[in-house]
Amino acid sequence: MNDTMVTVVGNVATGVEFRESAAGGVARFRFAVPARRWDRRGGGWVDGPTSFYTVWARRALGANLAASVAVGEPLVVRGRLRVREEEKDGRRWTSAEIDAVAAGHDLTRGTAAFRRLTWKAPVLTEGHGGTTQGQPEARAATVIAGSGTLGEALGTPRDTAPTAAP
């Protein structure tokens, strides 16, 4: 099957909702992507109409997004575009969704501190006959230094955020 892969740059419009399931966790959030164009008369960039997408992220990507992303933060999202047309109560509507395969903060608009996941083998109890699988010690993969509650939880207070070099 030929999927339409897209890379979109925008801002998180809603909080990330994360749910665990038997098949692994899944996260969902709305993503605002403004169209930008150069205004010759004004000599600068201006925002055009904004497109909204529902972004779905599964397993580790979903858990890491839930731990790392807050409303208003700039992201780059890459994934499969899905456009659905439905009719409900006599009205037709169209929705656009992205099944994310990768996502991260847009570093053209700020800085980030990356924290690699560490995996640790679980301790088996007596009588356990199953196989071992690694367990993540931390859920966070990306942290905007000093800009969110996760940074504060990891000991990075808001007032000690690093400054960019001139």
pLDDT for 24 equals: 86
* Assigned domain for 65 exists: yes
What's the pLDDT band for 118 if we cut at 50, 70, 90? Answer: confident
Predicted TM-score (pTM) of the model is 0.68
Instruction: Write the pLDDT tens digit of every residue in 50-91.
Output: 999 999 999 999 999 999 999 999 999 999 999 999 998 999
Q: Is the dihedral of CA 74, 79, 81, 82 positive or negative?
A: negative
Q: Is the dihedral of CA 81, 51, 111, 154 positive or negative?
A: negative
Q: Which domain holds residue 64?
A: 5-160
* Assigned domain for 165 exists: no
What's the pLDDT band for 125 if we cut at 50, 70, 90? Answer: low
The CATH number of the domain where 69 resides is what? Answer: 2.40.50.140
Distance between CA atoms of residues 104 and 94, nearest Å: 27
Collapsed DSSP state (helix, strand, coil) of residue 152: helix
